[in-house]
Amino acid sequence: MFENYDVTIDLGTSNTLIYVKRKHIVVREPTMVAKNLNTGVIEAFGIKAKNMIGRTPEDIVVIRPMNEGVVVDCETTTAMLQHFMELASKQTRLVTGMKWRKPNVLVCVPTGITSVEKRAIYLAVKQAGAQDVQTIEEPLAAAIGAGLPVQEPAGCMVVDIGGGTTQAAVLSYGGIAVSSSIRTAGDVMDQAIIQYIKKHFNARIGEGTAEEIKIDTGYAFLAPPDEKREVTCVDLVTGLPKTIKVFSEEISKVLSNSVNCIIDAVKSTLEVTPPELASDMIDRGIVLTGGGALLRNIDTLLRNETGLPVHVAETPLDCVVAGMGRLLDIDR
């Protein structure tokens, strides 16, 4: 089906990954752009843009052209993708010595989005330089990347927790039988931490610091009461830098609303799953993918709440793009 496709793109809210056929992942960059508000000129893309957060003059802002898995700024998304595809082309030439022709691209889309939102992703990739564009739903790609036997008649379940969305899906016979998607994921967790620091410490932190706190200190539950981290922030009264201490136990409570939303989404998906497929979950369980799968103890909590085996994929951040890549490599 995809024998004529050369490239896959995981266009995520937080990160963009590009896989080139037979060359594996060649681009892994934050989905961010630094733009000059006065001139409209884009100053930086990806990691360079992310490193500019909080360090730029007022006329330069760092923006995310994707939000909750969909395009919110078509022009900027296209420019960003052009840049990333040029990076992929350079990497390919370094390996093969051959010039990269205009590629046919397979790109993922969140399940449950509207036709307009899906069209926006298609056009952004097309205008960025793709010859032809085909879309695939993220949960299916994630399941393939995690090594699940999606082609078999028995059911298997994947929960992909990204930056903008969490998607739960039961798959069978190579397709999605049942799915649900909520716009509660990593970004919402980061914002909850930002608001907590503001309310309880009267201080301000950026999105990058909030993400670091989540990764280093966050637990889905059973957080060690004595585990803590020092955080540098800005006092909202004096405007001066200060250092505070946050404990894993309190961050766990901050994240609990988001975590509970994810648990409820998984349960609601299981509730509408046909009994014949639901029974397969007892042996096969649930596989977690996406960056949110790395939140400590989230697999244990989900196991306790559903009574099913729960496993974190070996490389959860790469599952979507790797799954699409496998489709290309299978068809060669």
| Per-residue pLDDT tens digits for 145-184 | 999 999 998 899 999 999 999 999 999 999 999 999 999 9
- DSSP tag of 153: S
Which residues have a Cβ under 8 Å from the Cβ of 81 and sit 6 or more positions away?
9, 11, 16, 124, 125, 128, 129
Q: What is the pLDDT of residue 94?
A: 53
User: For residue 41, what are its two tokens?
Assistant: 């000129």
Rounded to 5 degrees, φ, ψ at 19 are -115, 130
Which residues have a Cβ under 8 Å from the Cβ of 156 and sit 6 or more positions away?
143, 148, 149, 150, 170, 171, 172, 280, 284, 287
* DSSP characters over 10-63: EE-SSEEEEEETTTEEEEEEES-EEEETTT--EEEEHHHHHTTTTSS-TTEEEE
| Per-residue pLDDT tens digits for 178-210 | 999 999 999 999 999 999 999 999 999 999 899
Task: Reply yes or no on whether the pLDDT at 73 is more than 80.
Answer: yes
Residue 83: pLDDT band (50, 70, 90) is very high
Longest CA–CA span in the chain (Å) reads 63
Lowest mean pLDDT among 15-24, 88-97, 190-199, 272-281: 88-97
Task: Reply yes or no on whether the pLDDT at 283 is more than 70.
Answer: yes
Choose among 48, 65, 299: nearest CA to 164: 65
Radius of gyration of the chain (CA): 20
| Per-residue pLDDT tens digits for 18-68 | 999 877 899 999 999 999 999 999 999 999 999 998 888 889 999 999 998
Domains of the chain, first to last = 7-140+319-330 (3.30.420.40), 149-184+257-315 (3.30.420.40), 186-254 (3.90.640.10)
